[in-house]
């Protein structure tokens, strides 16, 4: 038996499918504070979307709760859907949805009967009041009170009926044939270019009540708990993009790193990165700019060109300069999913999209960081400024 009653409250805050690139728009709930998560589509077209929770907005100075890249989560959920869904499962889910709407119709019919009765009572009370002898004041007053009460009951029931009607109207209409066709050949249909996001969202909405997203800091994974229609739960674990920390048990050779990062960053920056990644150098020594240059030239990789590339992305240092906060704060914004930066590979320098610096989320994050600065920060900042040479 598929009971949706337990989900009624939660469903109230689910939002309808509205297109967009996020599969779980309106379905993702924050595992930390229980609020519905929002989708940030980034500033540029084609940019990865993110799910984030703003936390307690009413609380002044509250920081963002959690944020997570949307693409991996969506992929994992889609894979779970393809794995879990058979034709039979879709049929069951559609039947459950129909049952809910039938139950709604029953309630509406019962309410209509009640309303009819109440209206009759009210008209009766009105007539009694009209025929009373006006000299019998006490009786008249009593009858008037009853008439009023009857009218109030009618108004109350009418309100409930209207509410129920609105609820029924807002329920998504299910095209069973279309869905069954989709389910029959789901993997192919899902990935077909003709299947638009709206259709996928609609199917997801029928199969899934909501997805609770939390972060496991110990394993650096996102944990998405899928609440299927019908009460089953599935826990999905999605590896997060590593932030700065060197992933244990993952070792890249110097050649691998060079092929990925060579020419993307100055050799000096690559030397720092390769030391951080503990790449072995030919003679077992630390990497220097000279050694990196040698290796790069041996592999036939062009040197870094500061003019040609990176017009759209900047380094953490540059972002820190432009936003007026420490590099560690930039890393923190990245870690918390507010600033969507990318790495070519784990431990590589972050590439921060310039356009993202202007986003509302980042502005808000920077403001929060600045607000929480200790009083001595300004003095320290001034001291730092005076240490720097003019023009730097
Ligand atoms: Zn939250």
Give the pLDDT confidence score for residue 172 in this predicted structure. 62
Q: How far is the CA of 69 from the centre of ligand 1 (A)?
A: 15
**What percent of the chain has pLDDT above 90?**
13
Q: Convert the pLDDT of each residue in 323-379 to its tens digit.
A: 888 777 888 888 888 888 888 777 778 888 888 888 888 888 888 888 776 555 455
pLDDT at 119: 92
Top pLDDT among 280 and 143 is at 143
Mean pLDDT of all residues in 304-315 = 73
H/E element, 107: helix 87-131
Q: 24-39 pLDDT, tens per residue?
A: 988 999 988 888 998 8
| Contacts by 325-333, CB closer than 8 A, 24 or more apart | 325/366, 325/369, 325/370, 329/366, 329/369, 331/243, 331/244, 332/369, 333/362, 333/365, 333/366, 333/369
CA of 369 to the centre of ligand 1 (A): 18
Rounded to an integer, what distance in angstroms lies between the CA atom of residue 235 and that of residue 23?
17
Q: What is the pLDDT of residues 220-251, one digit of tens each?
A: 889 999 998 877 888 999 888 654 444 445 66
Average pLDDT of every residue of the chain: 77
Tell me how crowded residue 178 is: count the other CB atoms within 10 A of its CB. Answer: 12
Centre of ligand 1 to C-alpha 29, Å, is 8
Pick from 302, 285, 284, 280: nearest CA to 293:
302
Q: Evaluate whether 277 touches 269 at the Cβ level (below 8 Å).
A: no
How far, in Å, is the centroid of ligand 1 from the Cα of 28?
A: 11
pLDDT at 47: 65
What is the pLDDT at residue 19? 56
What are residue 131's phi and psi, to 5 degrees? Answer: -90, -5
Q: How far is CA 77 from CA 83, 203, 224, 225, 228, in A?
A: 10, 12, 8, 9, 11
- Report pLDDT for 113: 92
Checking 234-243 for CB contacts under 8 A at 24+ apart, the result is 234/80, 234/84, 236/73, 236/76, 236/77, 236/80, 238/72, 238/73, 238/76, 239/72, 240/68, 240/69, 240/72, 240/215, 241/69, 241/342, 241/343, 242/343, 242/346, 242/347, 243/331, 243/334, 243/335
286 CA from centroid of ligand 1 (Å): 43
Q: What's the gap in Å between 184 CA and the centre of ligand 1?
A: 37
Nearest alpha carbon to residue 44 among 361, 381, 353, 382: 353
Reported confidence tier of residue 9, pLDDT bands at 50, 70, 90: very low
pLDDT per residue as tens digits for the range 40-89? 886 655 567 889 888 766 554 445 678 888 888 998 999 888 877 766 66
- The structure tokens listed for 67 are 């944020």
- 31 Cα to the center of ligand 1, angstroms: 7
Query: Look-up: residue for tokens 């650096």?
Result: 220
The predicted-structure confidence for 160-179, as pLDDT tens digits, reads as follows 999 888 877 776 666 667 66
Question: What pLDDT does 213 receive?
Answer: 94
CA–chain centroid gap for 57, Å, is 16
**Sheet architecture: strand order including 28-30:** 28-30, 208-216, 221-228, 233-239
Specify the higher pLDDT residue, 332 or 115. 115
Burial 301-336 (b: 16+ CB within 10 A, else e): eeebeeeeebeebbbbebbbeebebeeebbbbbbbb
What's the CA-to-centroid distance between 360 and ligand 1, angstroms? 18
For residue 8, the model assigns a pLDDT of 39
Q: What are phi and psi of 221, to 5 degrees?
A: -120, 155
What value, to the nearest 5°, has the Cα angle with vertex 181 and ends 175 and 184?
Answer: 135
Q: What is the pLDDT of residue 73?
A: 92
Percent of the chain with pLDDT over 70: 78
Q: How confident is the model at residue 219 (pLDDT cuts 50, 70, 90)?
A: confident
User: Distance from the CA of 211 to the center of ligand 1, in angstroms?
Assistant: 13
């Amino acid at each position: 038996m598929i009971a949706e009653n337990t989900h009624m409250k939660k469903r109230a805050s689910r939002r309808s499918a509205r297109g967009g690139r996020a599969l779980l728009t309106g379905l993702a709930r924050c595992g930390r504070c229980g609020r519905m998560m929002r989708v940030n589509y980034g500033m540029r077209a084609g940019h990865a979307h993110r799910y984030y929770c703003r936390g307690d907005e009413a609380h002044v100075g509250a920081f963002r709760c959690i944020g997570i890249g949307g693409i991996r989560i969506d992929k994992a959920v889609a894979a779970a859907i393809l794995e879990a869904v058979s034709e039979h499962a879709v049929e069951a889910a559609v039947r459950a949805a129909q049952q809910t709407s039938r139950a709604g119709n029953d309630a509406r019919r019962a309410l209509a009967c009640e309303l009819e009765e109440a209206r009759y009572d009210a008209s009766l009370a009105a007539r009694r009041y009209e025929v009373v002898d006006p000299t019998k004041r006490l009786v008249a007053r009593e009858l008037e009170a009853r008439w009023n009460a009857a009218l109030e009951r009618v108004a109350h029931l009418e309100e409930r009926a209207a509410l129920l009607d609105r609820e029924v109207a807002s329920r998504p209409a299910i095209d069973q044939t279309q869905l069954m066709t989709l389910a029959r050949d789901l993997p192919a249909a899902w990935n077909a270019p003709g299947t638009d996001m709206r259709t996928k969202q609609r199917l997801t909405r029928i199969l899934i009540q909501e997805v609770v997203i939390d972060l496991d800091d110990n394993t650096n994974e996102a944990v998405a708990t899928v609440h299927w229609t019908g009460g089953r739960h599935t826990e999905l674990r999605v590896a997060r993009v590593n932030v700065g920390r060197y992933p244990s048990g993952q070792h890249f050779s110097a050649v691998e790193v060079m092929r990925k990062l060579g020419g993307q960053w100055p050799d000096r920056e690559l030397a720092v990165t390769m030391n951080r990644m503990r790449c072995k150098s030919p003679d077992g020594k630390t990497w220097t700019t000279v050694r990196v240059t040698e290796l790069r030239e041996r592999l036939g990789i062009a040197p870094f060109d500061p003019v040609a590339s990176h017009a759209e992305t900047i380094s953490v240092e540059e972002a820190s300069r432009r936003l007026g906060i420490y590099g560690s704060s930039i890393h923190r914004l990245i870690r918390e999913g507010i600033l969507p930066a990318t790495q070519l590979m784990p431990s590589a320098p972050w590439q921060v999209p310039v356009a993202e610096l202007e986003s509302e989320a980042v502005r808000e994050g920077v403001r929060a960081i600045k607000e929480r600065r200790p009083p001595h920060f300004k003095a320290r900042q001034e001291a730092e400024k005076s240490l720097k040479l003019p023009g730097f």
